[in-house]
Structure 1
Amino acid sequence: MINFILNNTEITTSMPPGMLLLDYIRYERNLKGTKIGCREGDCGACTVLIGNLKNDQLTYASATSCLTALGNIQHKHVVTVEGVNMDNLNPIQQAMCDEAGTQCGFCTPGFIVSMAGFCLNHQQPTYKNAIAAVDGNICRCTGYKSIERALTHITAMMQERDKQDPISFVTSKAILPAYFTGIKERLKLLASQPNGHAGKQGSRFVGGGTDLYVQQHDQMVYADINFLTNNQSLKGIVQQGDQCIIGGAATVSDLIASPLIQQYFPKISEFAKMVSSTPIRNIATLAGNFVNGSPIGDFSIFFLALNAILTLTNSEHSREVPLDQFYKGYKTLDKQSDEYVSAFRFKLPDQNTQFNFEKVSKRTHLDIASVNSALQLVMDGNIITYARLSAGGVAPFPLLLAKTSAFLTGKELTEELVSDAAELLQTEIAPISDARGTEEYKRLLLSQLIKAHFIKLFPLLEVDQLLA
């Protein structure tokens, strides 16, 4: 059985754990404010909030219910737009009305839920964070300016919070319903009850499922699933010596929020902003990105350049596999069906290390890459003592450009060296023409991205002349 709280109602259901939360909300509970749009996580019409109790702290994060399985909400609090309604319009809804932030209204519930998530968030209640809270919501009518104006009112309202707990603040100010104050204790009580199977004994391992449900929606509903994201032993981002250890159930948002990652990768938010949207990053796991095996998997490319080592685990043993040896062909992995990625590790960069990630897609945000690339360099003055370059969209799997990396190593950094490397990499790749671009376009694009790495990392180097 799956046990959770839906708005203000405790739910116990025997529906398949692989069933999507969106379908359960609409068809089993008849809550039609959560809309069906793209069913791929792109539009935000199905946005809900998921409250999770950990270390005695209740936190809320937005999620696309069209890609969230019931099994992943065990012992959690799910909030739909109906769950933020009050006797009259709440201040979030009122701000949208006052600024004419809705026309056809189809997208509005998702925006309202994401805005409520901003109000419940422990981040600083700045306008920048308010805008980021709705980065997964698409409106096809208003042109966004009216919605942005509504967010200025909401931000001003939340800046009175100071250091007060978000839940206490929004309920005391009648921004959200009073029942939110009791959710923490109710979740504690719920978690103390028998866990129920929730798919935990299943034979198929699933993390966030954000790409899996796009590809295999019908098959997943009744699949025998072992949900990994509920396993706290698979969470965490920690440092051990010069190694960073990341749990197999860590999400992209966990990566962005990690003080350790922020320390060593100050531009992590900038890099991650190019990948999906906040609601998807909140549930998508990094290990899932590896196992999906997409030739353009953004974090597969990211961690290939960092020489990540995967830990594959089954009921009997664990073994390590370098990420650059994990891919054997298109969607073919060095992984047995009874294994899952329990963790992965990589060496943290030192003061002589430079790192950059680049991505080009048809849309700037919320789109998969045409070509992406990451580069790690260790410098001794102007000499490259170590280079590791990866690329996606130019081979049947995430590709380590081993020859080009070796070519760069041990050489003085010059414009000519970068130009020569951009030519050499053409011998290592085999892009195909598809909906993301022609072969010729992808070859040219990767060449430009390699030069972009050096422009970003070494702004005094006149590599930008090579882009002409």
Structure 2
Amino acid sequence: MLQFYLNDQLVRPTLRAGSTLLDYVRYHQHLTGTKIGCREGDCGACTMLVGELQTDATGQPVVRYQSMTSCLTPLGNAHGRHIVTVEGISPQGGELTPVQQAIVAEGGTQCGFCTPGFVMSLTGHCLGGTATAEAGRAAIDGNICRCTGYKSLERATDRLTAGLAARDAAPEQLGWLVEQGFVPAYFRQMPARLAALRAETVADVAARTGGQLGEPAEAAAPLAAYLLGGGTDLLVQRADDVLAAEVQLLYGQAERCFIREEADGRIRLGSATTVEDLRASELLQSRFPRLRRHLKLVSSTPIRNMATVAGNFVNASPIGDLTIFFLALDAELTLQNAAGQRRQLPLRELYRGYKQLNRQPDEQLTEISFRPPAAGEVFNFEKVSKRTHLDIASVNSAARLRVAEGIIEAAELSAGGVGPTPLYLAQTSAFLRGRVLSADTLRAAGEVAQQEISPIADARGTAEYKRLLLRQLLFAHFLEHFPQQLALSHLV
């Protein structure tokens, strides 16, 4: 049974799991403060908070809130969680919350259509975000306002962030937020409510299946019409199809959401691990020092909170950011069929053609593994798009490199937007290995790369433009990590 808390009420929708949370809230619960904008996850007008039950460092239950665009959130993904709309943060007396007051004080609203989304994103920031100006601005990177310009909203964000110093100094952050009117008092009850809801769900599943929630016995079940993770692409491209079909929900499954290092040094990811999970991982940050900056280029905070690694791979977009990232790392995939049988497949062998996968109809992608950069190796990711953030790439590229004493000892390069599939640049990588690092070498490598790619003209640029971008990005990889060696090569 699908059930979750919507603001302070337990609800049990009877709609299909592939329905959108936005439509359920507006048309079935008649909470119209959440607005309908683009229905593609770009504008942020439909932003809600999704609370997930977790445990803190002391083992106590807590709820972690993230902003998500409800137009792309499958209703089934709300199961067992706390969904908060703009109505759910309003004080009983009808006063404004501190977030709303800050926006009003700084002139951050005119028509008001975008305001509920900004309010919810900033409320999520107050519930758990780091009290820095950078974190505050990042909290609203998925919200668009067409009236005020962003300076007023940035000032409101900075005003709120400055006040959060008192929150961080308080003995109990949630208690301080309740006392200051950021959220109503019922938020204090949500950890216990969600814990009880989880226990009820586990008992219900055990009674019906004779097992425990999350056991691998489900692998023998027939494949659903749609495997649905975060829904950030499928609900844009095929919303009506998803609504009409039975779906298998993968988002948030504990056995599919993990990041861990194995004894052999490889790192394994669950298929439903989100982009923001990657970005927040201390393990990955220790292996990829520029990781947060690189993944900041992937969409926006609400979308990164939802989008999964496997979803990016199997979507098979020629410009999938994560796909390009992991192609350079020679990632290996674990595929599992309906009978529970598993096989390993290099990511570089997943794509047969445009939107065509080397995967059987009953196979699911369950895990991803890769070897992180070793000592002496560096990694870089580059992306060119019409907007720096919240946009898809014209061309993107990643590289794992090792240079010693001016010699390129290892090179693994990938590129997107320059062919019908995400590309591992095998010939270019092989050409670079063993050569002196110099501008001449990179120019020659660029010519090799031109033979490996086949870009087409589209809304993201002409074929000639994309060829030029890839040449420039090959230089950018080396300039990012070896600027002095390249500079010295001109003097030799």
How does the TM-score come out when normalised to structure 2? 0.91
For residue 173 of structure 2, what is the aligned residue in structure 1? 166
The correspondence for 2:233, drawn from 211, 223, 228, is 211
1:313-372 CA distance string (max 9 Å, x none): 123211111000001100101112221111101001122101110001111111110100
2:141 is matched with: 135
Distance 1:57 1:381, change over 3 A: farther
Structure 1: which 5+ runs fail to align? none
Name 2:344's counterpart in structure 1.
Answer: 320
The equivalent position to 1:444 in structure 2, one of 468, 471, 482, is 468
- Write the mapping of 1:4-403 to structure 2, written as runs, cut at 5 A: 4-55=4-55, 56-86=61-91, 87=93, 88-121=95-128, 123-162=129-168, 164-194=171-201, 203=224, 204-240=226-262, 241-315=264-338, 316-403=340-427
Q: Whole-Å Cα distance in 2 between the matches of residues 109 and 395 of structure 1?
A: 40
Give the SS at the match of 2:41.
coil
Distance 1:67 1:165, change over 3 A: farther
1:53-109 deviations in Å (ceiling 9; x for gaps): 123331000001011001111100001111111121111111111111100100000
CA contact (8 A) 1:126 1:159 kept: no
Deviation at 1:463?
A: 6.6
In structure 2, what is the Cα distance between the partners aligned to 1:437 and 1:447? 15
Measure, in 2, the Cα distance between the counterparts of 1:214 and 1:357.
Answer: 26
CA distance, structure 2, for counterparts of residue 347 and residue 279 of structure 1: 29
Q: Return closer, same or farther for 1:400/1:127 CA change in 2, 3 Å cut-off.
A: same
Q: Report the alpha carbon displacement of residue 465 of structure 1 after superposing the two structures with TM.
A: 11
Where does structure 2 lack aligned partners over 5 or more consecutive residues?
Answer: 56-60, 206-212
Offset at 1:381? 3.0
For residues 242 and 218 of structure 1, the distance between their equivalents in structure 2, rounded to whole angstroms, comes to 43
| Separation of aligned partners in 2, 1:38 and 1:464 | 50
User: In 2, are the aligned partners of 1:67 and 1:214 still within 8 Å (CA)?
Assistant: yes
Return the letter of the residue paired with 1:136: G
Distance 1:349 1:3, change over 3 A: same
1:414 offset after TM fit, Å? 1.5
Are 1:311 and 1:318, in contact at CA under 8 Å, matched by a contact in 2? yes
The 2-side partners of 1:464 and 1:60 are apart by 50
Question: Does the 8 Å CA contact 2:229/2:249 hold for their aligned counterparts?
Answer: yes
SS where residue 3 of structure 2 aligns?
strand
Distance in 1 (CA, whole Å) between partners of 2:488 and 2:164 is: 44
Query: How far is the alpha carbon of 1:379 from its aligned partner?
Result: 2.8
Q: Which amino acid aligns with 1:160?
A: A
Give, in whole Å, the separation in 1 of the partners of 2:72 and 2:278.
Answer: 20
Contact 1:234 1:342 in 2 (8 A): yes
* Number of residue pairs the alignment of both structures matches: 464
- Inter-partner Cα distance in structure 2 for 1:180 and 1:66: 24
